[in-house]
Structure 1
Amino acid sequence: MGTKFEDKQISSEDGFWTMFYFLKEHYDLSGGAFELSDILSACEPVKRLNPALVIPADSSMVHYWNEALDKYRKNGKPDFK
């Protein structure tokens, strides 16, 4: 799993839909037992031995974010109900 965020600018709308895919993936992985506080805790930045390394407490969150961004770029906006 990568620990580097993609280095490209996105619009606020792109960020919104990427966040939708990011949260939806966690909701699906949890079997519907989604706790937002768990995700926020995992995403919280923590001090590392290397001060130049700024990543979330759970570095896999970077991977999940990049996957969500790729999914949005591939699939576009989700289907509306």
Structure 2
Amino acid sequence: MSDFDPLASDAPDDAHAMYAELRAQCPVAHSDAYGGFWALTRYDDVAAAASDSRTFISSVRAVVPSDPAACAVRR
């Protein structure tokens, strides 16, 4: 089950509101977009994960594309 859809709107204000709500109510959120991923939405959680490579790892496959439209065109 997805906590949020990062593709729901292109409007920057909508994204700011969505991430503010996630920080307040669901700081570790899941999205089904891009094959599924987890998003840390609070600074302290991101800093902790970034400094603990034994627990939190990422591979090339786990990186959300920076330009999803370009990825869709290449397929």
- TMscore range, shorter length: 0.3 to 0.5
- The structure richer in helix per residue is 1
TM-score norm. by structure 1 comes to 0.33
- The structure richer in strand per residue is 2
- Choose between structure 1 and 2 for higher RCO, CA contacts under 8 A separated by at least 6 residues: 1
TM-score norm. by structure 2 comes to 0.34
